[in-house]
């Protein structure tokens, strides 16, 4: 029988204190709706979006119930009845109209093509930057390119031709739109005959490496997260990173979507290669604690989202971690903003910020 252990794992339930927002409460709500015990309306479907899709509940569940996918299915039912919240519809419309989550001109993705004078076709390796990096965190791609250039790696960028992977459509319940977008994206990526696609965004990585395959959409290239690619270069001796000379205590924050695909070792090995001052979070790897912005929760309930993020920062404080390192652009933005707001002196760094190539040491 169900022990409802998930109710103690859910960050949303923890900070709201609401039984409705527990994983078991939301699945019960879906059951009553599907069996016509409750009316389909905004009030009864909005709890389905009070979920980070972080997956912690799966790790606590003795019955292996996949709550995140149940929530995606519940959202799909809401979408079919025109009950998706306005923020979700807005994201959908932007992706379908502009090929990115911001509704911006996709030509803005050309910034680094122009800076590095790329033609967009420079080898069998493609960097799939993702919407977040392309429009809000271009410095991450800039740093990655500098490192790859140091190691003499040839690669391509699509620039304005890069499409959205469709992850928000999949997560927010727009399943039919997602399938169309994923097929379109796969066609573009397969046309390049790339051998390797390097992903920067955890959402994009999970989509391209796992979800597409589950949906019967084939990609010909091998999908590799940028931390995996950099760590492989390091192990092969093609690149050496300088040791950090400071007194910071570093803690690696596992992004939820990378935890979903068991991507734990590469970023930790990179971090341990540059500093000996590393401390693990109590909640790590499969049990990682979300930054609070998973599945765009901040757009629905910013107060709940911020409380969840603050819990992660407080955990770092309690453990004596002074610098949080992660490999997710959303986590960086969220935790950095909350840390600054609370004036607690916890620093937040994206991992390439602390990876400095040792000059004259490249093979």
CA atoms in the 13 A half-sphere facing the CB of 14: 20
Q: Say yes or no to pLDDT of 123 above 80.
A: no
- Sequence-distant (≥ 6) Cβ neighbours of residue 75 within 8 angstroms: 48, 49, 84, 88, 171, 172, 173
Give tens-digit pLDDT for 182-236: 999 999 999 999 999 999 999 999 999 999 999 999 999 999 999 999 999 999 9
Determine what percent of the chain is predicted with pLDDT higher than 90: 89
What's the CA gap between 125 and 108, in Å, rounded? 22
% of the chain with per-residue pLDDT over 70: 97
CATH assignment of 241-354?
3.40.50
The answer to whether 105-233 and 241-354 have equal CATH topology is: yes
With a cut of 50, say whether residue 12 has pLDDT above it.
Answer: yes
What is the rounded average pLDDT of the residues 105-122? 79
Assigned token pair, 363: 């093979």
Question: % helix / strand / coil in the chain, to the nearest 5?
Answer: 55, 10, 35
User: How is the chain split into domains, by residue range?
Assistant: 5-84, 105-233, 241-354
pLDDT of 221 reads 98
Task: Record the pTM.
Answer: 0.96
> How far separated are the first and last CA of the chain, in Å rounded?
59
Q: CB of 286 within 8 A of CB of 255?
A: no
pLDDT tens per residue across span 235-294? 999 999 999 999 999 999 999 999 999 999 999 999 999 999 999 999 999 999 999 999
**Crossing angle of the two packed helices 265-274 and 226-235, in degrees rounded to 10:** 50
Quickly state the pLDDT bin for 7 (edges 50, 70, 90): confident
For residue 118, pLDDT beyond 80: no
Whether the CB-CB separation of 297 and 50 falls below 8 Å is answered with yes
The answer to whether residue 336 scores a pLDDT higher than 50 is yes
pLDDT of 363 above 60 = no
The predicted-structure confidence for 14-44, as pLDDT tens digits, reads as follows 999 999 999 999 999 999 999 999 999 999 9
Fold of 105-233: Rossmann fold (3.40.50)
Tell which residue, 52, 62, 51, 45, has the closest CA to residue 6. 62
Cα distances (angstroms) measured from residue 162 to each of 66, 232, 286, 294: 32, 25, 31, 23
């Amino acid at each position: 029988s169900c022990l409802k252990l998930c109710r103690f794992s859910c960050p949303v339930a923890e900070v709201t204190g609401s039984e409705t927002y527990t994983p078991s409460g939301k699945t019960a709500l879906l059951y009553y709706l599907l069996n016509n015990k409750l009316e389909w309306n905004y009030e009864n479907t909005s709890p389905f979006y009070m979920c980070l899709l972080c997956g912690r509940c799966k790790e606590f569940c003795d019955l292996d119930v996949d709550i995140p996918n149940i929530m995606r299915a519940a959202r799909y039912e809401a979408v079919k009845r025109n009950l998706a919240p306005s923020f979700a519809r807005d994201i959908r419309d932007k992706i379908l109209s502009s090929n990115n989550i911001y509704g911006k001109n996709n030509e803005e993705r050309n910034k680094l093509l122009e800076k590095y004078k790329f033609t967009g076709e420079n080898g069998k390796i493609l960097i799939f930057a993702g919407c977040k990096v392309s429009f809000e965190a271009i410095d991450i791609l800039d740093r990655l390119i500098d490192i790859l250039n140091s190691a003499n790696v040839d690669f391509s960028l699509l620039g304005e031709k890069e499409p959205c992977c469709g992850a928000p459509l999949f997560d927010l319940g727009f399943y039919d739109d997602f399938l169309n977008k994923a097929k379109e994206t796969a066609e573009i990526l397969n046309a390049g005959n790339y051998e390797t696609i390097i992903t920067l965004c955890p959402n994009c990585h999970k989509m391209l490496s796992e979800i597409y395959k589950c949906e019967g959409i084939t990609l010909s290239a091998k999908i590799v997260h940028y931390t995996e690619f950099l760590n492989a270069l390091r192990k092969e001796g093609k690149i050496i990173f300088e040791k950090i000379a400071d007194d910071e205590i570093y803690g690696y924050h596992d992004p939820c979507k990378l935890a979903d695909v068991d991507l734990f070792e590469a970023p930790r090995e990179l971090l341990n290669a540059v500093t000996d001052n590393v401390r693990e979070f109590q909640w790590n790897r499969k049990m990682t604690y979300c930054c609070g912005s998973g599945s765009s929760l901040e757009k629905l309930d910013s107060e709940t989202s911020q409380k969840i993020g603050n819990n992660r920062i407080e955990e770092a404080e309690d453990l004596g971690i002074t610098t949080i390192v992660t490999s997710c652009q959303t986590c960086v933005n969220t935790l950095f903003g909350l840390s600054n707001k609370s004036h607690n002196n916890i620093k937040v760094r994206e991992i390439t910020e602390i990876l400095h190539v040792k000059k004259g040491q490249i093979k």
